[in-house]
Amino acid sequence: MSSAADQITTRRSVLRKGLAALGALAGAGAVLGSRSTNAFAASGSFNASGGGNAAVTADATAGATGVKITTDGGPAVDVHGGEINVVNMSGGPAVQGHSQHSTGIAGSTSQPGGWAVAGIAFGTNATGVYGEGIESNGPGVFGNADAADGVIGSSGRSSGVLGKSVLGYGGSFQGGAAPLHLEPATVKGHPTSGAHKRGDFWVDSAGALFFCVTGGTPGVWKRVRLL
C-alpha cells in the first residue's frame, strides 16, 4: 500500500500536469484562433520547418476573420526573408488593400531591375494588373518616373498598349520634345509582308510616312505627302 506522503506527491504531480495542459490549450487558442467571444492575445516566437508546415495557422468559419491586426501607427505585418502567399478559392480578390487617407497597396524595391509591384495572369483573358477609377476623376492606372518611361507596354503577339474610350479619345499625348514619336523601320518603303490593318501608319528608314488604306497581307499602302 502507498503511504499518505506518496498519495500527496501523486496528487501534486497530477495538478502540475493539469495546469501545464491548461496553459498549452490557452496558447493554442491564441495561435490557432479562439472561437470564443474574447480571444487570447499571444506574443513570442513560433517556429516551423519543412515544406507545407505553418508556424501559425488561423482557422475561421461562418464568415469570421482569420487574422485581424490593428496598430497605432506601426506596420501591421513585417515579413523578412520570404514572401506572403495568399490563395483565395472563393472567387474574391486574394489581396485587397483599403486606406481612408493614403495608398491602399504600396510596393517598393531596392533591387536593380526589380519590380515594386508585379501582376502575372495565367488564365484565359486574365489581367495581370487592373486599375479602375470610380467617381473620383482620377486615373485607373498612373505611372510616373523621373528619368525613365512612366509606363511601358510590351506584347509578343498583340498591342503593347491599347487605349479605348466611350466618349473621349483613345489616346491623348503631349510632350516637350513632341506629342508623338513613331520609331522608323530599318528598311526603306512600306511593308511588303505580314498582316496589316486599315489605319496602320508606317515610317520607313528614310523618314517617309505610309498609311494602310486596305487591310491584308501586306495590305494596300499609300505614301503620305507632307507639304
Distance CA 159, CA 168 (A): 20
Q: If we measure between CA atoms, which residue out of 113, 115, 95, 114 comes closest to residue 105?
A: 95
Distance CA 210, CA 203 (A): 6
Domains of the chain by residue range: 1-28, 186-227
Residue identified by cell 507596354 is 153
**pTM for the predicted model, two decimal places:** 0.59
pLDDT, one tens digit for every residue, the chain (227 residues): 555 555 544 555 544 544 444 344 444 444 444 444 555 555 666 777 777 777 777 777 887 887 878 877 777 777 777 777 777 777 777 778 878 778 888 888 888 988 888 888 888 888 888 888 887 788 888 899 999 999 999 999 899 999 999 999 999 999 999 999 999 999 999 999 999 999 999 999 999 999 999 999 999 999 999 88
Sorted by sequence, the CB contacts under 8 Å of residue 162 that are 6+ apart come out as 153
